[in-house]
Structure 1
Amino acid sequence: MDYKCTRCKRPVEIDYQYTGIRCPYCGHRILVKERSQASIKTVKAE
């Protein structure tokens, strides 16, 4: 699964066998899951 670091904005690959979840570039611990373009839905306002 692809994640993005909220501090340095770089894509991060998570290895679930490793217990600590950190950005390997800056060490930040807050990562967000990347969404694909297919999952973004637009709704027409009426």
Structure 2
Amino acid sequence: MIMGYYCARCKHVVEIDYETQGIRCNYCGYRILIKERPTMVKKVRAE
């Protein structure tokens, strides 16, 4: 399973594969990554 994140220090986009590598930025080695969120707003109709 591949998830998209960006590094909190260098702001590079990093794709993490949980099965093969640890949670670490490929560019600077920083271990704090922020999950990318979609830009569209999800609207739910209340009933």
Q: TM-score, normalising length from structure 1? A: 0.75
Show structure 1 runs of 5+ residues with no match.
42-46
Indicate whether 1:16 and 2:38 are aligned: no
**Going by fraction, where is strand more abundant, 1 or 2?**
2
List structure 1 runs of 4+ shifted beyond 4 angstroms. Answer: none
**Going by fraction, where is helix more abundant, 1 or 2?**
1
Aligned partner letter, 1:13: E
Q: CA RMSD in A?
A: 1.9
Q: TM-score, normalising length from structure 2? A: 0.73
